[in-house]
Amino acid sequence: MDENKTKNETWEWIKALLIAFGLVAIIRVFLFTPIVVDGESMMPTLKDGDKMLVNKIGYTIGEPKRFDVIVFHAPEQKDYIKRVIGLPGDEIAYENDVLYVNGEAVEEPYLAQYKEEATELPLTEDFVLEDKIQSTIVPDDHVFVMGDNRRRSKDSRHIGAVPMEEVIGKTKFVFWPMKNFGLVD
């Protein structure tokens, strides 16, 4: 009798662990996955080594918004973290460190502190979209992305517009290190 009870209890623990591992696998594959910031291209918003959660389902039911921080598969077989600057159909230009979307100046509040502390301006060189992606507008089903550290970011200015099929998801939450814990703008 004791042997049967031990076997049943062991079997119950094994089932519970299998279910737990299965749920973790489902959550990681389909809903959320961790990613580590590699490099300085998103400074000062994100720092090298920050660990974040990527929401993988957000864009299956919605569309990216301007200034979302996204993770995508880059051409170098590596995942990049960048900020959405241009949406499909947008005309993008920079002049005198000001972003212009469809001819209208657009503020970038996430760069305000960086601009104040910079010893060398402009942060972003002047350009029009056609100089960077050989198109006057962001193509359908693509986004134009840039890192917040404009001088040290390999982004759409170098790799072109990012196809939506390469976008893994949106990231907004740093969970490690604890001093950087929280939501990012």
Catalytically annotated residues: 41, 82
Alpha-carbon Rg for the chain in angstroms: 21
Whole-number Å distance between alpha carbons of 144 and 90:
9
Concatenating the DSSP letter of every residue in the chain gives -HHHHHHHHHHHHHHHHHHHHHHHHHIIIIIEEEEE--SSTTTTTS-TT-EEEEESSHHHHS---TT-EEEEEETTTEEEEEEEEE-TT--EEEETTEEEETTEEE--GGGHHHHHH-SS--SS--EEHHHHHSSSSPPTTEEEEE-SSGGG--SHHHH-PEEGGGEEEEEEEEEESGGG-EE--
